[in-house]
Structure 1
Amino acid sequence: MRKFLSLGLSFSMAAMLAACGTNTTQTTSSSSGSEGTKQTQREVVNFWYLWGGEEAKLIEQIIAEYNKSQDKYEVVGTSTPDQKVIITSISGGQGPDITDDFGGSVPKYANENIAQNLDEYIKKDSVDMTAFVDAALEQQKYEGSIYSLPISVNVFALYYNKDLLNNAGITKTPQTLEELMQIGEETTVLDGGALKQLGSPFVPANYWPNIFTYAYGSDFGQTGKLTPDNEGFKKSLEFMESQVKKFGKDALSNFITSGNSNLNTPQDPFLNGTQVFRIDGPWLYNMAKEANVNFEVMPVPGAESVGSDGWSTVDTSMLYIPTTSKHKDGAWDFMKYMCMGDGNKLFCKLKGDLPSTKALLEDQEIISASPAQKIFSEIVAKNNLRVLPPSLNTAEYSKAIKDAVEAVLLGDSVEQALNRMKDAVSTLK
């Protein structure tokens, strides 16, 4: 069975590479006039995309609309939900003319000459890059140049369980980060040495540390100048340390570990009604509705010293043109349609993703698609969004942050955790 599967994959790859190799002009449309029928030759642009299943059908709808909108290029889509296949094909000179990925991949693809530098295309067409959400655009850059365009963004908000707050006699939502931490502590319930209810947004473990840091007005540095021991992250770790001391290392770590292991399942603590505050993305909204949780969503408030809200880390889905693309002009034209033109609005409407352009954040068709869309669009529009410094070592930096948080959870002091973190990132750039 394994041999047949491998053989099938080989045939599939061969077909894909053959399709890329036959990327020549073809007759795809005609128009009638007084002089008879005029044939229009279109240049084929191959678009390999990571989306699959029902999402792939939506992408094909957008491709069809693009092909109808002009008569110069014919985009041919191929669902390829394997990043390694795409990168291997690009490296071998047989990849697509345009493809998609995530913004965090930009430094690697730029450094390894996988993604095409777009500066000249942007300059030639006088593209207004201020049309994009600032933080979303930042994730498309490497060493000052732009290598991709964002098609959508992911941001995070503060979910809260209304019933659990009411049970604790709390009728006011937190207006500052300090109030959020205070209420989180007040609504954490320890019973017989075990945590029965978690007030603070420590589950999931990978969102809150960065977002708390930003909400304190700090960040993790800039490219070439990392600041792992910034004041905001230090205060975030100090808050976790205080909770470990108050509720016990074992009780807190057991609850958090179990919660992270059961994310988005019936045992997820927010979905089963044992977590008061939760920092998460738009995808949690429908899950919580289906689980009959009585909840609301609000922007993450800033610290008293910052005095604003909507603080979040941001990630993007993006499109890039491989350096080996044989039809870069056509790929660029399609990229503009998908990331800035009618295609982007259609993408956000069909898929329910958040737009990366400022204009669409105010578009009523987008905003009214769902309650979650409205809430998260407003958070994007607030523009209190941050990303880790774009570098070749973003994954290592993220791991160092995660390791520092886990060390404090398991009983290390903040000073010990930060010292190890500084050692771990000392050679990163």
Structure 2
Amino acid sequence: MRRRLLGALAASALVAALGACGGGDEASGGKTEVVFSYLWAGEEAAALEKIITDFNASQDKITVKGVSSPDFQKQLTSMSGAQGSFDISDHFGSGVGAWASKGILTPLDDFIKADGYDTKDFPAAAMSQMVYQGKTYSMPIALHTQMLLYNKKLYAEAGLAGPPKTTEEWAEQIAKLTKRGADGTITQLGYANAEINTSFTTLGFMFGGSWDDQSGASTPANPGNVAGLSFYTDNIPGKYGVEQVRKFTSGFGEYASAQNAFYTGKAATIIDGEWQPVAIKKFAPTLEWGVAPLPYPSAQPNLAGTTQVTTSTLFIPRNAKHPKEAWEFMKYLLAKDAMTKFSLALGNLPARTSLVDDPQYKALPQFDAWLGALKSTNARSLASSPWAAQYTADLAQAFDDIAQQRKAPNDGLAGVAQKAKSYAP
């Protein structure tokens, strides 16, 4: 999921070069062939192909042809012509606004209205990213929330009973869980970012911040955002030295591998997503770990249960040859049975609130914590705006400057706020 997201952000920057308006030919037996070009690969693609096979066997009017194509640039290129090479595909919620503003997505509202399709079962934090200027351009197939993961063995060694409830408690624990040699060299960090961009935006939410206002305008310099990033700098590079932190983290292994810093005990706590139970089972089956709600400032107990929600979405390109048939297949993927199979195979959260308590998810260790976060009134998400790609790039640069202490949090985010004045739909 992380690799797909990074690729999506890079590809979104190409949207400005695209124009507008599908794929698929008539299959044998009089069926309409719908091409589903999806970005998943490997085990995830195999799970998706099983669902495609089930759909094809469920009716006699449509044949879906699945094509694994984890290439965002190719996806966008196809969508820029008069007739594309596919009828339905997937992306992330953060890119909906940018793509919709360029006219390369098919609005789904007429399909939704004609079928009386109920979207109320999808969390508001997810659906808010599906809409641009009052029209729905995409639908969520899977969700992702952020929680605090902690190493139980390292906690026991530090004499800590359990995870923190408040950010003040977390700061104390970070200090007890960070180890250094006689020369100041770090050998263990109490907290390390699993993925800097998502962790930093989540920290902003945890301190009551917001990265966008109700109109969708970017608000990077929100005081809560500054407080969240200040928490990181105060407790990690500001306390142990940016050079020492850089030296230590440069030795971290690949994220999706047995050398992941959290799996090897180099990082005692991280903020990360619901795919971790599946990943830990695969890469670190003996790891003693736990998951807990993100801590909140003691002075702001109303922020308990804060999490960031991101979405994996389905869309129909404007130049799809068979949009009606693609919508029929989309509805199948969004139905409870297919969604459950899909999300379980990927270790992702279902996009329907009615599936949160489904017992099938009990098979994934400690998965309930991420599922429960979907119910939180403090589930937050970034706005899906036309300038999301530029905003993301500017934030990434600022986050790096702040993490490396080239800039203080307030200065770094103020710089992004200045750049945001030039953003245009």
TM-score between the two structures when normalised by the length of structure 2: 0.85
Mapped contact 1:361–1:378 kept (Cα < 8 A): yes
C-alpha distance in 2 between matches for 1:342 and 1:70: 16
Deviation per CA, 1:92-121, whole angstroms, max 9, x where unpaired? 213212122222221222122211011121
**What is the CA-CA distance between 1:53 and the residue it aligns to?**
3.2
SS, match of residue 404 in structure 1 = helix
User: Does 1:42 find its partner at 2:37?
Assistant: no
**Match in the other structure for 1:127:** 117
What residue in structure 1 maps to residue 62 of structure 2? 73
Partners of 1:313 and 1:397 lie apart in 2 by: 17
Q: Tell me whether 1:213 sits opposite 2:204 in the alignment.
A: yes
Change in CA separation of 1:275 and 1:404 when aligned onto 2, cut-off 3 Å: same
Deviation at 1:359, TM superposition (A): 1.0
Cα distance between partner residues in 1 of 2:206 and 2:347: 27
Which residue identity does 1:218 align to in structure 2? G
Q: Aligned partners of 2:249 and 2:28: how far apart in 1?
A: 58
| Gap change, CA 1:211 and 1:94, over 3 Å in 2 | closer
The Cα RMSD (Å) is: 2.4
CA-CA distance at 1:273 after TM superposition: 1.1
Q: Secondary structure at the match of 1:107?
A: helix
Please tell me the residue identity of whatever aligns with 1:226: S
Measured after TM superposition, the shift of residue 65 of structure 1 is 1.5
> Amino acid of the residue matched to residue 56 of structure 1?
A
For residues 230-379 of structure 1, the aligned pairs below 5 Å read 230-243=222-235, 244-259=237-252, 262-289=254-281, 290-291=283-284, 292-304=286-298, 305-365=300-360, 367-379=361-373
Per-residue deviation, 1:375:
2.9
Secondary structure class of the residue paired with 1:78: strand
| Equivalent residue, structure 2, for 1:381 | 375
Cα offset for 1:262? 4.1
Q: How far apart, in 1, do the equivalents of 2:415 and 2:24 lie?
A: 54
Q: Which residue of 2 aligns with 1:86?
A: 75
Q: Deviations over 1:349-383 (max 9, x none)?
A: 44433100111112112x22311433322222335
- Mapping of 1:151-166 within 5 angstroms? 151-166=141-156
After the TM superposition, which residues 160-179 of structure 1 pair with which residues of structure 2 at under 5 Å, given as runs? 160-179=150-169
Matched, 1:403 2:394: no
Task: Quote the offset at 1:148 in angstroms.
Answer: 0.8
- Corresponding residue for 1:23? 25
CA distance in 1, matches of 2:232, 2:366: 29
1: distance between equivalents of 2:156 and 2:23? Answer: 64
**Identity across aligned pairs (percent)?**
31
Letter of the 1:189 partner, please give it. Answer: K
User: Using the alignment, how far apart are the partners of 1:351 and 1:295 within structure 2?
Assistant: 20
The answer for the alignment partner of 2:19 in structure 1 is none
Cα offsets for 1:178-224 (capped at 9, x unmatched): 32223213322232121122112434323321112111222112354
CA contact (8 A) 1:47 1:75 kept: yes
Would the alpha carbon gap of residues 331 and 204 (structure 1) be closer, same or farther in structure 2, given more than 3 Å must change?
A: closer
Q: Secondary structure at the match of 1:206?
A: helix
Report if aligned partners of 1:137, 1:149 keep a CA contact under 8 Å in 2: yes
Instruction: Please state whether the residue corresponding to 2:89 is helix, strand or coil.
Output: strand
- Alignment-derived partner of residue 195 in structure 1: 186
* CA radius of gyration, larger in: 1
CA contact (8 A) 1:48 1:96 kept: yes
- Structure 1 counterpart of 2:125, which letter? A
The C-alpha deviation readout for 1:271-299, integer Å capped at 9, x for no partner, is: 22121111112333344454333211122
- The one-letter amino acid of 2:47's match is L
Amino acid at match of 2:363: A
Over residues 320-369 of structure 1, what are the superposed CA-to-partner deviations in whole Å (9 max), with x where a residue is unaligned?
1111122211111111110134322232244433100111112112x223
The letter for the 1-side match of 2:242 is K
Offset at residue 143 of structure 1 (A): 2.0
Listed as ranges, the matches of 1:52-63 within 5 Å are 52-63=41-52
Matches within 5 A, 1:95-114: 95-114=85-104
| In structure 2, distance between residues paired with 1:49 and 1:127 | 24
Structure 1's consecutive aligned runs of 4 or more residues displaced over 4 angstroms after TM superposition are none
What is the identity, as a one-letter code, of the residue corresponding to 2:187?
K
Given that 2:24 and 2:34 are in contact with CA atoms closer than 8 Å, whether structure 1 keeps it comes out as no
Gaps of 5+ in 1: 1-19, 28-40
Specify whether residues 54 and 286 from structure 1 end up closer, same or farther in structure 2 by C-alpha distance, changes over 3 A only: closer
In 2, are the aligned partners of 1:185 and 1:200 still within 8 Å (CA)?
no
**Contact 1:133–1:383 at 8 Å: present in 2 too?**
no
Q: Which letter does structure 1 place at the counterpart of 2:133?
A: E
- 1:394 counterpart residue number: 388
Does the 8 Å contact 1:253/1:409 carry over to 2? no
Structure 2 residues without counterparts, runs of 5 or longer: 1-21
Shift of the alpha carbon at 1:389? 1.9
Give the superposition deviation at 1:241: 3.3
The superposition leaves residues 42-83 of structure 1 with CA deviations (integer Å, 9 ceiling, x where unpaired) of: 333222222233333322221222222233323232333323
Q: What does residue 64 of structure 1 align with?
A: 53
Is this contact kept in 1: 2:167–2:296, CA < 8 A?
yes
> Residue deviations 1:379-427, cap 9 Å, x none?
2233532222211222332233333333233333334323323223231
Amino acid at match of 2:25: N
* Structure 1 length-normalised TM: 0.84
Q: In structure 2, what residue type is equivalent to 1:375?
A: A
**In structure 2, do the counterparts of structure 1 residues 393 and 381 end up closer, same or farther at CA, with 3 Å as the change threshold?**
same
Aligned to 1:419: 414
Residue pair 1:349, 1:369 contacting (<8 A) in 2 also: no
Kept after mapping to 1: 8 A contact 2:91/2:312: yes
Q: Given that residues 275 and 347 in structure 2 are in contact (C-alpha distance below 8 angstroms), is that contact kept between their aligned partners in structure 1? A: no
